[in-house]
Structure 1
Amino acid sequence: MSVAAKSVALVVTSTRGIRIGPSVASLLSTVLEPSAKAANINLKTVDLKSFNLPVFSESMPPMMIKPGGPQFEQETSKAWADEMSSHDGYIFIMNEYNYGMSGATKNAIDYLLNGFTGKPVALVSYGVKGGNLANEQAKGVLTAMGLTVIEPRPLLGFHGGRGPEGMLAVTEGKIGDETRKDWSEGHRAEILEAFEKLGEQLRAPKAEDDQLPPN
């Protein structure tokens, strides 16, 4: 009997006009695809920017949104929540603004609860210092919400920090050659380890499965 493939969303959280988030997602996809194929995991890039989410203003809080119950009023809200709930796990690709995760990232998370919590999530951040503070903040939020945050949490720093390659990313939305090498080669083992741990969580029996009677 064949086992259904699991779905993991590569969630690009940056929404700036000039950004490297999609390029980081592409780099990660290239690194992860062989392992994903071997583990029967489908990777899908989900770009937060494409959903055009406003600042959360729905009448009902996410905890009330469930099948057969109240629903979001705005189509953008429904589309985002439905997309995220359709996946078995996540890899959040995170930028850092002013020593924390961006407002767009936190706002997007604020739309989610049912169909999101209880699932595993890997955090990959990037920035001058690898987006370490955004990564740590997201870990606290998502853990408190009931997701399983995977360790390690790769921190992808620009080669030379605030030097030319850091400025290239910020002003032109491009990953410099040395930065790309640092990330795809220097961080490869860490990225693959995080993905392996994510896969283990995807395959782990759920609590409700443990209660099913034997065949």
Structure 2
Amino acid sequence: MVRIAIIIGSTRPQRRTAVAAQWVGDVAGRHPAVTAGEATFEIVDLVDYGLPVLDEPTPAMFADYRNAHTTRWAQAIDSFDGFVFVTPEYNHAPPAALKNAIDFLFAEWNNKTAGFVSHGVHAGVRAVEQLRLTMTELQVANVRTQVALSAFTDFEITDPTEPGLIAPGDHQEPTLIEMLSEIITWSRALKPLRDTTARSEAVPVA
């Protein structure tokens, strides 16, 4: 079974990102691969991991984790085959908390697949541009289809201090289903690479 994480990419209180992630989870639950028992989606909230600003003394590429919070985060990410990053756009970029969480790890991301659901005044598309570059460096295959939610047309917001309600346009759910299908397909296709890497790491070096 393919396991996909839906990562809530903001830690801000009253974040609209959590509302968007819940919508992604609801739609994913209706995906044919999920109802057939071939895939599963799980929401992963950065808030639950309490990651500080990157505090590992050794670069993540060496996987020499010294802190319990890093190990816990690494075990969580390692257990998934692919990811849906749900992200707002802050000042033309993804949130610092999301980039920080990504930078804690390296191998745990490798040879997996990612898709993006973004939201904001500009639908978050500029944040995703940066995330695609980061994912490529981490050997994560980016699927082409993207869901971009506008703060003006895809949410019902009466108070800017509250997350509001999600009200996606008619085209958004079919686009999301298409993106999820791509993530599942690519996650399956990359499995031999993940298996090969796992076997090579299990063999002791003489």
Q: TM-score, normalised by structure 2?
A: 0.86
Q: Counterpart of 2:167?
A: 180
Q: Counterpart of 2:147?
A: 154
Pair 1:87-2:80 in alignment: yes
* Superposition deviation, residue 144 in structure 1: 2.0
The answer as to whether partners of 1:119 and 1:148 remain within 8 angstroms in 2 is: yes
Q: CA RMSD in A?
A: 2.1
* Superposition deviation, residue 105 in structure 1: 0.9
Pair 1:73-2:63 in alignment: no
Secondary structure of 2:116's counterpart equals: strand
Q: Counterpart of 1:11?
A: 7
Distance 1:39 1:193 in 2: 18
Letter in 2 for 1:33: G
* Superposition deviation, residue 54 in structure 1: 0.7
1:204 pairs with one of 176, 189, 204: 189
Pair 1:51-2:80 in alignment: no
CA deviations over 1:49-82 (Å, ceiling 9, x no partner):
11111110211111111xxxx3x22211111111
Distance 1:138 1:38 in 2: 31
Going from structure 1 to structure 2, the CA distance change for 1:121 and 1:26 (only over 3 Å counts) comes to same
* Superposition deviation, residue 21 in structure 1: 1.9
Secondary structure of 1:150's counterpart equals: strand
Distance 2:194 2:27 in 1: 33
Going from structure 1 to structure 2, the CA distance change for 1:209 and 1:108 (only over 3 Å counts) comes to closer
CA deviations over 1:175-209 (Å, ceiling 9, x no partner):
2xxx5142xx3211111111111111122162477
Distance 1:208 1:140 in 2: 21
The answer as to whether partners of 2:9 and 2:45 remain within 8 angstroms in 1 is: yes
Q: Counterpart of 2:23?
A: 27
Going from structure 1 to structure 2, the CA distance change for 1:127 and 1:194 (only over 3 Å counts) comes to same
* Superposition deviation, residue 157 in structure 1: 0.8
* Superposition deviation, residue 125 in structure 1: 0.7
The answer as to whether partners of 1:160 and 1:166 remain within 8 angstroms in 2 is: no
List gaps (5 residues or longer) in structure 1.
211-215
* Superposition deviation, residue 106 in structure 1: 0.7
CA deviations over 1:6-42 (Å, ceiling 9, x no partner):
1110100110011122221111111121212236111
The answer as to whether partners of 1:39 and 1:199 remain within 8 angstroms in 2 is: no
List gaps (5 residues or longer) in structure 2.
197-206
Q: Counterpart of 2:176?
A: 191
* Superposition deviation, residue 159 in structure 1: 2.7
Going from structure 1 to structure 2, the CA distance change for 1:118 and 1:167 (only over 3 Å counts) comes to farther
CA deviations over 1:116-157 (Å, ceiling 9, x no partner):
111001111111121011011101111122100111111111
Distance 2:67 2:44 in 1: 19
Going from structure 1 to structure 2, the CA distance change for 1:54 and 1:189 (only over 3 Å counts) comes to same
The number of equivalent residue pairs is 193
Letter in 2 for 1:150: V
Q: Counterpart of 1:171?
A: 161
Distance 2:81 2:71 in 1: 18
Secondary structure of 1:100's counterpart equals: coil
Q: Which has the higher mean CA deviation after the structures are superposed, 197-206 or 77-86?
A: 197-206
